[in-house]
Amino acid sequence: MTDPSDIRKGLAGVVVDTTAVSKVNPETNSLLYRGYPVQELAASCSFEQVAYLLWHGELPTEAELTAFEELERSQRALDPAVKRVVDELPLTAHPMDVLRTAVSVIGALDPDWADASPAGNLAKSVALLARIPAVVAYDQRRRRGLPLVAPDDSLGYSANFLRMTFGEVPSEVVVKAFDVSMILYAEHSFNASTFTARVVTSTLSDLYSAVVAGIGALKGPLHGGANEAVMHVFDEIGSADAAEAWLDDALASKKKIMGFGHRVYKNGDSRVPTMKASLDTLVAEYDRPDLLALYDALNDAMQARKGIQPNLDYPSGPAYHLIGFDTGTFTPLFVASRITGWTAHIMEQLQANALIRPLSAYVGVAERHVGR
Ligand SMILES: CC(=O)SCCNC(=O)CCNC(=O)[C@H](O)C(C)(C)COP(=O)(O)OP(=O)(O)OC[C@H]1O[C@@H](n2cnc3c(N)ncnc32)[C@H](O)[C@@H]1OP(=O)(O)O
Ligand SMILES: O=C([O-])CC(=O)C(=O)O
């Protein structure tokens, strides 16, 4: 029998399969999507190009990009049947629960849900990429008592997403910062939500079921829910001068500080410098040096006390806040991006599938019998 002390809790450090989608390298603090450094992609590509890259393995040619953009733009509208379901959900429902439900409805309404061919799954992936922003944007608007905004097919993905949320296209600086966040959130190897999606896929369940399960896994604050949690922390602290005392109290009560630490990166998250640069542009755009001061004060105090580096959720939370998103919408924005990585992994899993079913070491009561 396996000695329970030999078990790698949380599968920490365990390699469970191969992947060609992305490479996370903590030694060099780098992240490659299909071989390309993510910083280069953020600097020179659109999110649409990156989505194409993750799915096809290569960046699109101009003609391929045009065709891909047309396909994405043609599917952006919120299906009235999905809208009706969203409208039925109470405002007490978390936006992640609304999105999880909406994706489930989209799947149930797709007559081709069982088509798991590479072409069938790719078509579903592009459709979800196109359709998720409408759900996220509309859910935020209905919570503010505002009507649906129809998509604008003349706009790129990020400009349209922001317009559907806020009713107008913000400045280029804001659109670029948002697009960069979408690129950085798109893919990160065998993180908990991607692994969840692969586990579901390994049973030969359908793509929608795997994505819905991925959304459930992403919601937790130890994973994607941390971008929302970071903003709650900022709200609780209030201002830079209160950060040190807040941190001391939180650490004394053994709290995990949201937006810091990572299972794989132990010396900093490869994506943080790029997202922090985008946050800086937003701070200048919205003239909010106070928010940057709080960001720096908490980070400095965390470095002094624990030496634990921030992860991507630390700059993304305040960036989404500055753009104007409600805090509960931050993790759905992560979903809007990660749908690309999840579905790339779902398709990869199916190319060489094996049921994912690990073992456990039993530590319960010894065998016993009823009535004796
Ligand atoms: C996009 C993403 O999903 S990135 C992750 C987002 N999640 C967060 O920001 C939540 C806060 N962070 C954490 O909870 C953790 O760092 C995790 C879950 C991300 C990674 O956890 P693990 O790999 O299991 O790290 P582990 O728990 O072993 O941490 C090692 C030590 O650092 C401490 N530590 C790690 N992260 C933190 C943190 N955020 N705050 C305080 N202490 C921390 C642990 O308490 C532990 O200390 P110990 O050795 O004294 O017990
Ligand atoms: O890799 C992880 O464990 C979490 C993460 O950063 C991500 O999913 O982007």
Indicate whether 299 pLDDT > 70: yes
Q: What is the pLDDT of residue 372?
A: 80
Instruction: Give CATH for domain 226-322.
Output: 1.10.230.10
Domain with CATH 1.10.230.10 in the chain: 226-322
Indicate whether 243 pLDDT > 80: yes
Indicate whether 317 pLDDT > 70: yes
**Ligand 1 pocket residue status of 339, Cβ below 6 Å:** no
User: Model-level pTM greater than 0.95?
Assistant: yes
Q: What is the pLDDT of residue 5?
A: 86
Q: Is 223 a catalytic residue?
A: yes
How much distance in Å is there from the Cα of 340 to the middle of ligand 2? 14
Q: What is the pLDDT of residue 266?
A: 87
**Ligand 2 pocket residue status of 23, Cβ below 6 Å:** no
Nearest CA to ligand 1 atom 30: 261
Q: What is the pLDDT of residue 2?
A: 79
1: confidence class by pLDDT, cuts 50, 70, 90: low
Ligand nearest to the CA of 194: 2
113: confidence class by pLDDT, cuts 50, 70, 90: very high
Q: What is the pLDDT of residue 181?
A: 99
- Atom of ligand 2 at shortest range from CA of 263: 3
Q: Is 188 a catalytic residue?
A: no
Indicate whether 230 pLDDT > 90: yes
Q: Tell the burial category of 244 from Cβ atoms under 10 Å away from its Cβ (0-12, 13-18, 19+).
A: middle
Domain 22-220+335-351: which topology?
Citrate Synthase; domain 1 (1.10.580)
Structure tokens at 263: 């299972």
Q: What is the pLDDT of residue 153?
A: 97
What ipTM describes this predicted complex?
0.98
Cβ pair 353, 204 in contact under 8 A: yes
Q: Quickly list H helices, 12-116.
A: 38-44, 47-56, 62-73, 80-88, 95-109
C-alpha to C-alpha distances, 79 to 5, 110, 127, nearest whole angstrom: 51, 12, 12
The pLDDT tens digits of the residues spanning 135-181 come to: 999 999 999 999 999 999 999 999 999 999 999 999 999 999 999 99
Show the CA angle centred on residue 210, arms to residues 208 and 216, nearest 5°.
Answer: 105
The pLDDT tens digits of the residues spanning 326-342 come to: 999 999 999 999 999 99
Span 225-253, average pLDDT = 98
Angle, helices 172-185 vs 330-351, to 10°: value is: 40
The pLDDT tens digits of the residues spanning 335-366 come to: 999 999 999 999 999 999 999 999 999 999 99
Domain with CATH 1.10.580.10 in the chain: 22-220+335-351
Indicate whether 73 pLDDT > 70: yes
Distance in angstroms (rounded) separating the CA atoms of residues 73 and 51: 14
